[in-house]
Chain A
Amino acid sequence: MASTFVRQKKHGASLILSAPLIIFAALFVAYPLVSGTMTAFTSKSLLDPTDTFNGVDNFVSLFTKPAFLNAAGFTLSFAAIVVLCEMVLGFGLALLFDRKFPGKKLFFTLTLLPIMIAPALLGIMFRLLLNEDIGAIPAILQSFGLSVSLFSPSSVVPLLVVLDILQWTPFTFLIIYAGLQSFPKELLEASAVDGATFLRQLWHVVLPVLKPVLFAAFFLRAIDAIRTFDVIYVLTAGGPGTSTTTLSIFIYKVAFEQGDFGKAAAASVVVLICLLPFVPFIVKRIASSGMEGK
């Protein structure tokens, strides 16, 4: 009898304690998800704001025209390049900062500055800095006799890649650096005693132990890179043509320029469905690696 009472009390307490999370999830996760999914099956638009069911018309329209598939192609290739570069550079920076050197605190702070600036603001800053008539960077390049048209069609994609790397490498660096701080240094000492070179230590000791941290950094950056919007929208608005249109820019334009909420919601649902299967896989990978580490 007493144990039943204790169990009920525990159950009640767990419900009360988890209520804020449930309410948060209902309002900010489940509601937008359900609302968006329902909108994806309607012809809701600015001109006709009623939720008229139109079956899978929005999805058919997405896959029968090249705009959505082009945006998906650009987004995936852009994300793959920037995330790879950011992981490598972030790892390198973390190794560099994982030792003592003069001015380390100052350089550490400077390195983190880009992630403290709002992406849209960063886009506007770059638009000014890179402007060939009034920008500081073209002026500096010209003083060295270099004349580069950074916004020309041939250089705009590399420019966007570089800007993304500049902004987000500090993020991967920070996560990996935090992982390195909890890294058991005696493992390195033991391997050094066994005669392991720096590269061998890196490959056989550091990387395996840091695997969960690297996965976390990779996963978070990959999701973010696939959602890239601000800087590209401010600098190119997805052009010339649609050559720099990401999925987020595509969805934004369909919703807010074309006023076609049904089609924009359908595109969002497709992106979600494509990304969702990776979540449990990666979470499991991170969790299991974490257990191995313990």
Chain B
Amino acid sequence: MLSRKLGAVGALLVSATLLTGCSTGGSTGGDGSGSGTVKMVAWPGPEGDAMKEVVDAYNAGQGKEDDINVELVLLSRQDTFSKETALMSSKSSDVDVYWTASYNVGQFSPSLEPLDDIDTSNYFPVATEGLTYNDKLYALPLDVSNHFLLYRTDLIDGLLNDPAAVEVYKSISADVLGEPREPVDPQSWDLDDYKAMSAYFSKSTNADSPTQYGTILQAKNLLYNTMIWNDVLWGYGGNWAEDGKATIDSDAGKKAVQLYADIYKNKWTSPDSAQAEFPETQAALQSGNVAFAMQWSAAYAALNDPEQSPDIAGKIGIAPVPGGQTHVHALSVSLNKYSKNKAAAKTLLSYLATTEAMTAYAEAGGIPAMPEVLSQNEDLNPAFGRVSESISEYGYSEPVFPKTFQAYSALAEALSGAWVGETPVNDAVKNANEALQELLD
């Protein structure tokens, strides 16, 4: 009886081992006929929704001439890259065009086909450079993302034009910064202005504040929140690394973490911002509970839309991130190395690289990475002009290396406790530095 049981288990394991062996093969894909169905994935939200409209227009027009039909699948916003990672790990040909970004294209590059024969002259050079890894272009820029300071114009004007309020501000800034400051227009704020204004507009420090909190920090343990914190790090003159050595534990790194911790511990941001990201920041601004926030460029249009933001539409101004530095990345589309229909997928990608396609993308609510399209469509979104300006004048890119994507996550994990005062700043930057160095090595 025992031998039969063992035999059955053995047979099961042998068959499983054989299955495992069979599954690790994987093909290198093929060009296909140059026509037929092209499957692409995107994430839902403004970018995916805009892409869907472009794809629908392509299928109804140019796609018929090309004899190509595009099937767009919208995955979940949070898990698109995870699902793509699973597909790539199994060398799947299920998807022809992947949704990628400048922060993960290096990591994904072993599963992607270089796109060197597609005309990219219409794009911001910095956008295509960010998608180039080992001298090969692995993705086409689709949507550029960067940060701005979004602020309540009525509240700031109220402060600037009221001499009594100015005196209160000077007194609060003296307490916060050690020296009194004049309030200035957000277009020229540095990080000290940001800190003092956070205090002034918070009831915890100024009982007469028109808002509960000055700002809202995006302090959740999330890689995208590292990108926003990086603006503060860069604003203080810091960087991730110099000459291959991690520098998160520099003075600039410590000051950048300390600024977050000060704002959090003094209740100049909501205690709940320990779990805040993009949607919570939008909700805080829309509710009128905060005066300003560092937020993604995609947020601006919705905040000034009377339907989506009835309480604050028309009262939201846009300014450079305090400290004058903004992270820039591009969401992008890439060709699966294991696709069985590469020729048709390349035809689609070539179409997406045209100003015609990207104009349709802008009209559908996206922020294309083409300066010409942005400047010609400023009437669609007032932020377009500012995006163009910010990318060319004060945008920066974090160091690009194969593990850039992991670095964002590692920094969020190491620093998010200190951002909300749970971990000592020195311990957090030390851990972050070690984690980053390990990824750099």
Contacts and interface: CB of A to CB of B under 8 A. Distances in A.
B408 to A, nearest CB: 9
Contacts of B82: 252, 256-257
B308 interface: no
Interface string B74-108: 00001101100110110100000000000000011
B416 A134 contact: no
Nearest to B20: A35
Interface string A216-241: 00000000000000000011111111
Interface string B197-215: 0000000000000000000
Contact of B274 (A35, A153, A234): A153
B380 interface: no
B327 to A, nearest CB: 18
A33 B85 CA distance: 20
A132 B15 contact: no
A257 to B, nearest CB: 4
Interface string B398-421: 000011011001101110111111
Given A33-B16, A236-B275, A259 B85 contact: yes
A46 interface: yes
Interface in A14-69: 22, 25-27, 29-31, 33-35, 38, 44, 46-49, 51, 67
Contacts of B24: 51
A26 B409 CA distance: 36
B195 interface: no
B426 to A, nearest CB: 15
Interface string B9-38: 000110111011001100000000000000
Interface stretch (B121-129, B151-159, B169-177, B219-227): B219-227
A35 B16 contact: yes
Count chain B CB atoms within 10 A of each CB in A47, A131, A237, A252 and give the residue with the most: A237
A185 to B, nearest CB: 41
Interface in B384-441: 402-403, 405-406, 409-410, 412-414, 416-423, 428
A255 B85 contact: yes
Contact of B405 (A31, A241, A257): A257
A34 B20 contact: yes
Count chain A CB atoms within 10 A of each CB in B13, B17, B272 and give the residue with the most: B272
A241 B418 CA distance: 8
Interface in A137-156: 149-153, 156
A240 B272 contact: no
Interface in B278-337: 280, 283-284, 286-287, 289
Contact of A241 (B79, B221, B402): B221
Contacts of B412: 239
A242 interface: yes
A150 B280 CA distance: 14
A34 B220 CA distance: 36
B220 A149 contact: no
Contact of A26 (B12, B79, B107, B423): B12
Contact of A152 (B274, B284, B286, B402): B274
Contacts of A51: 24
B359 interface: no
A258 interface: yes
Interface residues of A, number: 46
Given A46-B89, A46-B107, A47-B107, A258 B406 contact: yes
Contacts of B89: 44, 46, 49, 261
Nearest to A44: B89
A26 B111 contact: no
Nearest to B83: A256
B271 interface: yes
B403 A47 contact: yes
A55 to B, nearest CB: 19
A211 interface: no
A289 interface: no
A285 interface: no
Count chain B CB atoms within 10 A of each CB in A46, A48, A149, A242 and give the residue with the most: A46
Interface of A: 22, 25-27, 29-31, 33-35, 38, 44, 46-49, 51, 67, 131-134, 149-153, 156, 234-243, 252-253, 255-259, 261
Given A151-B274, A238-B413, 18 more contacts: A26-B16, A30-B12, A30-B13, A34-B17, A38-B20, A46-B89, A47-B110, A49-B88, A150-B272, A152-B271, A152-B274, A153-B420, A239-B413, A240-B219, A241-B423, A241-B428, A255-B85, A257-B223
Q: Which 10 A-B pairs have the closest CB atoms?
A: A239-B221, A241-B417, A149-B271, A152-B271, A30-B16, A256-B82, A133-B287, A151-B272, A151-B275, A34-B16
